Structure 1
Amino acid sequence: MRVKKVLFIAALLFFSFNLPAQTVKAGAELTGAYLPLIRGKRVAVMTNQTGRVGDEHLVDLLIRNKVDLVGIFSPEHG
């Protein structure tokens, strides 16, 4: 019985330290997927101060990539 407990605890520890295969990415970070779709189109963005891609704000990234940014909306509370 004691061996089963030790094996169970060892398995529990082993699986609790297992790292995920991929990290979670926000949609804004997937520029390769959406930039070709929005180039040359009029785009409005709903974001706040946390809308960042790396060290750059999403709005700055879009302007730098020649996206026709026509509106920026930001929620007042949250």
Structure 2
Amino acid sequence: MQTIYTDGIANIAFHDGVVRVELVTTRQIDKDKQEMAPAGSIAMSLPALLRVHDQLGKAIENMVERGMLTKRAPDEPGKSSA
């Protein structure tokens, strides 16, 4: 099994029943500038995407319950949020 590290998603596309998610990593160019570089991609069916969404939601809720994350409004400064 291959492990791909990602800092984010560059694009999500849906075509012919397949969802394609382009993954990116960031790298520091200089003190004030970062660059996004492709890290790989994931292709899955729409039902698989919905299962992933459900699983990620459950993982985030578990992290909130364990105190690893706190839920807050998007514009509120503070800890990492869910």
* TM-score class, shorter: under 0.3
TM-score by length of 1: 0.24
Higher relative contact order (CA 8 A, sep 6+): 1
Larger radius of gyration, structure 1 or 2? 1
Provide TM-score, normalisation by structure 2.
0.23
